[in-house]
Structure 1
Amino acid sequence: MFAEKELLLVPGPTPIPPQVQRAMVRAVINHRSPAYEELFARLQEKLRRIFAVTGEVFVFPASGTGMLEAMVVNFLSPNDPVLMVSVGWFGDRFGEIAERFGAKVTWLKVEWGKAATPELVAEAMDKAPQPFKAVLLTHNETSTAVVNPVREIAKVVKERGALLLVDSVSGFGAMPLPMDEWRIDAVATASQKALMTPPGIGLVAVREAAWEAVKQAQMPRYYWDFRLAREFQRRHQNPYTPPVTLLFGLDAALDLIFAEGVETVFERHRRLRNLLRDGIREMGLELFVPDDAIASCSLTAIKVPEGIHGGDLIRQLRQRYRVEVAGGQEHLRGKIIRISHMGWVHESDILLALTALRHALQDLGWRAR
């Protein structure tokens, strides 16, 4: 056996630090008690700090997809014109959610493996027959390992008076995304990625300047209603039963991030990305995203060599070497593998993954050029 313990390198859920695991072992408390209110108030302060926002950060028992739906129903009304900037599978999902709730979606689709540009967004906005109410954008596209230039796109969007709603489920906590500074109106993320907590917590941060749009939105909502959630959060509670044990874990995870330093965490993710990409190139393999400027710091997509199916490679890594990685989606199924380096991941994990990858490929008949 190559390793006694599984090395989890999929883009969510990610490895859980022992401090977070220990925090979740404690007894559950009453979510209407002063003890919970103290926990939730503490969490709110930490979440505003990591989102770099002065507005609200809403906490729901949910996945990241739930948070995309929450942004749609809280900011839009039926027939609102919306620009969906999609660079992959999860961008398509975001736009489909908006369509199902009745928004009039104009699609700006970028080839998978490439990033959107502010010029493309500006052109799409300028030629639209009517102004867009909102632009929907993926920060980090998990299906392709591409990161979009959110700061530059945000400038274009705000100059044209539209809302900017950002899916940062797999980017948040691994790369900078200061909401107030970049004037991003809402950001959605979830606990199981760079925040190093098990799945089950969904988060949406809302810039205070965008709150008027929440009040005006006419899409049906109840569970996701930010107005109701805000009323409860003012007294440090939730409208519905929260995932108390997971919040214990998130509290501990945020402490770890702040102890390391947020900028240091970002730098570690950049360093791990570079280490993996350099190792892949040294092996003679091809990166799905060759341009370092748009390469994600959360995960890396690697083309599977000709003659090998990605599913066989993933199976070999799992069964013989105890390394768990992800495959491609849609037309990339079997053609790429995706290795995560977000959250509680370090240089030794990447070096082990590279070694396991080389051996697994050789097991399947590959020989380095």
Structure 2
Amino acid sequence: MFTDKMILRIPGPTPIPPRVQQAMNQPMIGHRSGQFSELFARTEQRLRPYFGTSGEVFILAGSGTSALEMSVVNTLQPGEEAVVLVSGAFGERFAKICERYGIIVHRLEVEWGEAVTPEALSSFLADKPQVQAVFATYCETSTGVQNPIRELAHIVREKSNALFIVDAVSCLGAVACEMDAWGVDIVVTGSQKAFMLPTGLAFLAASKRAWDVIDSKKPLAFYLDLKAYRKSLADKTTPYTPAVSLIFGLVEVCNMLDEEGLPAIIKRHELMRDMTRAAMRALGIPLMASEEYAATTVTSCHPHDAFDAEQLRKVLRTKHNIVIAGGQGHLKGKIFRIGHMGFCEPLDVLQVIAAIEMSLQQIGAPVELGAGVKAAQEVLLAHV
């Protein structure tokens, strides 16, 4: 076994395509040079279709959390009110960011493994006329749930004057996102998920309605001042030092995404989700998310008392060089999560399912070898 061949099947960071890795190895250029400015401006425009916007996409050096924080510090002031939809660990992160800046947070919480429904949001907003922003997570990575963002956006528009701000870190570039058409005001994401890059870039797009609010506020941070990024983007640059090598890689990612086309990318991710879920059902392993709200980029499984999720993960890693994710928060040690996004295709899914079957047998769990693979193959054959 090749000890340096580790196969990542976690919901980020995801594997880097060789051609993207090669692009990042280009010689460094000046980040204030005309060469970089032209490259940067073209790349920003190429990102817009994946957000579903005609507006600018701002690129900053930072993790996805930096863009989450940017969406807070530019739209709200201490003492103002926000609703945060909490369906897992990353909804909770949005709430904590808001609270750190003195914002009054109303949590709409659902059980982990469930989605926030439009009906629940409508009822929750009914007695909160002072709310300035509603924060939601598109794909809740910790549970494998994909919240119905389009429908939730409609409710926010119908029931309030609040901005609707969406964390799409673990799914943008793999799912439909039409922020202009749906009425979403801010969408944020990061580089290390469906965009197939290392951690280190964050992206944010804002609507005209959001900009009306941003322009009326004093930002609560220096590095994350969105008005500074808008001013610099007009000059084809960034206000602070950009991650040049990651931008080189982003150009090649855009090439790959454009070559496949967003409709085909979405179908590929839906297929990998369906294959994974069919396999887990065939193996008798309970799924956390319902069919209606199952994420296309990560599948969460809850074995309960059938076997030890951490023991499975250990055998996968040490015996088969495959890494899957564990649980977070109160689910730590209780669930496992399979990432299937970015540089991943259906045959990769078959590989991880086969390895899970073998690992289950190795830890003494009841398993019929081949049952999960067969179920996934049947899903795949129905699509080819």
TM-score range, shorter chain: over 0.9
Normalising by the residue count of structure 2, what TM-score does the alignment of the two structures yield?
A: 0.93
Measure the CA separation in 2 of the matches of 1:127 and 1:209: 23
RMSD of aligned C-alpha atoms?
1.4
Q: 2:113 is paired with a residue of what secondary structure?
A: coil
Which deviates more from structure 2 when the two are superposed, residues 43-52 or residues 325-334? 43-52
Corresponding residue for residue 254 of structure 2: 254
Measure the CA separation in 1 of the matches of 2:82 and 2:266: 31
Q: Aligned partner of 2:115: which letter?
A: A
* Superposition deviation, residue 313 in structure 1: 1.4
Structure 2: tracts of 5 or more residues without a match: 369-384
* Superposition deviation, residue 116 in structure 1: 0.2
Corresponding residue for residue 83 of structure 1: 83
Corresponding residue for residue 146 of structure 1: 145
Q: Aligned partner of 2:45: which letter?
A: E
Query: How many residue pairs align between the two structures?
Result: 367
Corresponding residue for residue 215 of structure 1: 215
Contact 1:52–1:180 at 8 Å: present in 2 too?
Answer: yes
Q: Aligned partner of 2:224: which letter?
A: W
Superposed counterparts of 1:108-119, under 5 Å: 108-119=108-119
Measure the CA separation in 2 of the matches of 1:209 and 1:81: 18
Corresponding residue for residue 176 of structure 2: 176
Measure the CA separation in 1 of the matches of 2:147 and 2:325: 21
Matched, 1:326 2:312: no
Measure the CA separation in 1 of the matches of 2:192 and 2:4: 24
Corresponding residue for residue 67 of structure 1: 67
Corresponding residue for residue 51 of structure 1: 51
* Superposition deviation, residue 283 in structure 1: 1.4
Superposed counterparts of 1:17-28, under 5 Å: 17-28=17-28
Q: 2:253 is paired with a residue of what secondary structure?
A: helix
Contact 1:56–1:208 at 8 Å: present in 2 too?
Answer: no
Contact 2:45–2:57 at 8 Å: present in 1 too?
Answer: no
Which deviates more from structure 2 when the two are superposed, residues 206-215 or residues 228-237? 206-215
Q: 2:39 is paired with a residue of what secondary structure?
A: helix
Question: CA deviation digits over 1:97-151, x for unaligned, max 9?
Answer: 00110111111001000000111111111122x3311100000000000000000
Superposed counterparts of 1:1-369, under 5 Å: 1=1, 5-128=5-128, 130-159=129-158, 160-289=160-289, 291-304=290-303, 306=305, 308-368=307-367
Q: 1:133 is paired with a residue of what secondary structure?
A: strand
Question: CA deviation digits over 1:28-49, x for unaligned, max 9?
Answer: 1101111001111111110122
Q: 2:173 is paired with a residue of what secondary structure?
A: coil
Alpha carbons of structure 1 residues 276 and 4: separation in structure 2 relative to 1, 3 Å: farther
* Superposition deviation, residue 5 in structure 1: 2.7
Measure the CA separation in 2 of the matches of 1:86 and 1:363: 37
Contact 1:9–1:341 at 8 Å: present in 2 too?
Answer: yes
Q: 1:292 is paired with a residue of what secondary structure?
A: coil
Alpha carbons of structure 1 residues 2 and 247: separation in structure 2 relative to 1, 3 Å: closer
Alpha carbons of structure 1 residues 334 and 4: separation in structure 2 relative to 1, 3 Å: same
* Superposition deviation, residue 171 in structure 1: 1.5
* Superposition deviation, residue 305 in structure 1: 5.2
Q: 1:344 is paired with a residue of what secondary structure?
A: coil
Alpha carbons of structure 1 residues 320 and 305: separation in structure 2 relative to 1, 3 Å: farther
* Superposition deviation, residue 218 in structure 1: 3.3
* Superposition deviation, residue 302 in structure 1: 1.0
Q: 2:338 is paired with a residue of what secondary structure?
A: strand
Q: 1:75 is paired with a residue of what secondary structure?
A: coil
Alpha carbons of structure 1 residues 307 and 271: separation in structure 2 relative to 1, 3 Å: closer
Question: CA deviation digits over 1:171-202, x for unaligned, max 9?
Answer: 11111111101111001100000001111001
Contact 1:3–1:321 at 8 Å: present in 2 too?
Answer: no
Contact 1:74–1:219 at 8 Å: present in 2 too?
Answer: yes
Measure the CA separation in 2 of the matches of 1:331 and 1:132: 29
Normalising by the residue count of structure 1, what TM-score does the alignment of the two structures yield?
A: 0.97
Measure the CA separation in 2 of the matches of 1:63 and 1:306: 36
Contact 1:7–1:349 at 8 Å: present in 2 too?
Answer: no
* Superposition deviation, residue 2 in structure 1: 9.1
Alpha carbons of structure 1 residues 284 and 308: separation in structure 2 relative to 1, 3 Å: closer
Contact 1:6–1:324 at 8 Å: present in 2 too?
Answer: yes
Measure the CA separation in 2 of the matches of 1:332 and 1:305: 11
Measure the CA separation in 2 of the matches of 1:120 and 1:84: 13
Q: 2:74 is paired with a residue of what secondary structure?
A: helix
Contact 2:360–2:367 at 8 Å: present in 1 too?
Answer: no
Question: CA deviation digits over 1:193-234, x for unaligned, max 9?
Answer: 000111100111111232111112234221001111111100
